[in-house]
Amino acid sequence: MTLLTPTDETPAGFELPAFHARLRDEVRDFADAVVAPAAYEYDTKRELPYDIIRTMGDMGLFGLPVPEEYGGGGRDYLALCLAVEQLARADQSIAVTLEAGVGLGMMPILRSGTEAQKREWLPLLASGHALGAFGLTEAEAGSDAAGTQTTAVLEDGQWVINGSKQFITNSGSEITRLITVTAVTGESIRPDGSVKKELTAILVPVPTEGFVAHPAYDKVGWHTSDTHPLTFTDVRVPEENILGARGRGFVNFLQTLDEGRVAFAALCTGAAQGCLEEAVRYAGERRVFGRVIGDNQHIAFKLARMQARVHTARLAYYDAAIKIVRGQPFKTEASIAKLVSSEAAMENARDATQIFGGYGFLNKSPVARHYRDSKILEIGEGTSEVQLGVIARGLGFAAL
């Protein structure tokens, strides 16, 4: 069940229903008390804090949008977004572990899986004691899925998978148990003579012989997030591990990606909010020439713009998330939310670092971490240019 139904009236001014408000506050308190104090340590070690992830699982965060019959909380997508936003205030890496674990690890199974697949995988992943990942991106394939080179051939009732993936979140952790892989399972010739690839999604349990998660990337930011290149060498899984219909892998993923952009926008909003809070605190404490720097108009106006960005980003993702809950079209709204919020996060990180001055250039400063982390927000889950293309197509233009 969900707390918002198609017959509910949207609260005036996007005022949250009682459960959602309580959830937001509880996750905010957890982020402040547990996540934030540990963020610098784990960022420096470049380690995923499994104790924190397990606690998030015990809190029910990974199972929020999963029906109760599959071990989840039976809540809605807005609930997940609120949790992601509050975590991102303190640590984007922890927030994206939740966002990707649910949006990419579980939602494809919930949307497209068989009953047997749902009962096998959703309770485990919803517990937060195991992580799932989605392997789409390759060296020549990301936004252009037609460039996919990974193949899967059906032999004696098994899919034999060969290929590689890159930039895959939650793919090589100690608790990763599942990778959903998009692979070419056939080809056909279009009337114009070009080749159309048949893309299919296939579930690969971890560990499986022939699957390798290579050493984690040395990234600019998101140091705590688990991200790896993957290879599949004659990986064999049963034929029934196909997720959804054969040839529908990319179509199903697009639905997942549209939803994921809304949760990603919530993450961006949380990052922008975290920068605002740190900047307001510092501007109210730091004294120069006998007064706090926030009393200087150029600092106060910078803070005002930061607040305006956060407010706009939050309204944008609320709008898209509520449309998801109500079963309304949301593709354009998802892209608007992702575009606006990722730019807000990057701009707020830059402004917060400027307000902090030299202290903002120290890695131990939360704004420094946000500055490093936020650039990927304009790239991941569809670049800003991709979002502009989606929005333009919604207006009726090809935007080639």
CA–CA–CA angle 164, 166, 167 (5° rounding): 160
Q: Can you spell out the DSSP letters for 88-140? A: HHH-HHHHHHHHHHHHTTTHHHHHH--HHHHHHHHHHHHTTSSEEEEE--BTT
Q: Give the bridge partners for 370, in sequence order.
A: none
Tell me, rounded to whole angstroms, the distance of Cα 72 from its chain centroid.
19
Catalytic residue selected from 138, 333, 343, 381: 381
Q: Distance between CA 291 and CA 284 in Å, rounded?
A: 9
Q: Distance between CA 146 and CA 34 in Å, rounded?
A: 43
Residue 369, classed as helix, strand or coil, is: helix
Query: Using CA atoms in the order 234, 170, 240, 250, what is the torsion angle rounded to 10 degrees?
Result: -90
- For residue 192, the number of C-alpha atoms closer than 13 Å in the C-beta half-sphere is 3
Token reading at 34: 């547990």
Q: Distance between CA 126 and CA 206 in Å, rounded?
A: 17
Q: Distance between CA 31 and CA 34 in Å, rounded?
A: 6
Q: Output the furthest CA–CA distance in the chain (Å, rounded).
A: 79
Q: Can you spell out the DSSP letters for 129-194? A: SSEEEEE--BTTBSS-GGG---EEEEETTEEEEEEEEEEEETSSSTTEEEEEEEEEEEEEE-TTS-
Q: Distance between CA 218 and CA 221 in Å, rounded?
A: 9
CB 79 within 8 A of CB 65: yes
Query: For residue 80, is it left (φ>0), alpha (ψ between -120 and 50) or beta?
Result: alpha
Token reading at 75: 């809540």
Q: β-pairing, 211-213 with 176-189?
A: unpaired
Q: Distance between CA 258 and CA 7 in Å, rounded?
A: 23
Tell me, rounded to whole angstroms, the distance of Cα 381 from its chain centroid.
7
For residue 85, indicate whether it is catalytic: no
Tell me, rounded to whole angstroms, the distance of Cα 272 from its chain centroid.
15
Give the residue numbers annotated as catalytic, written as ranges.
381
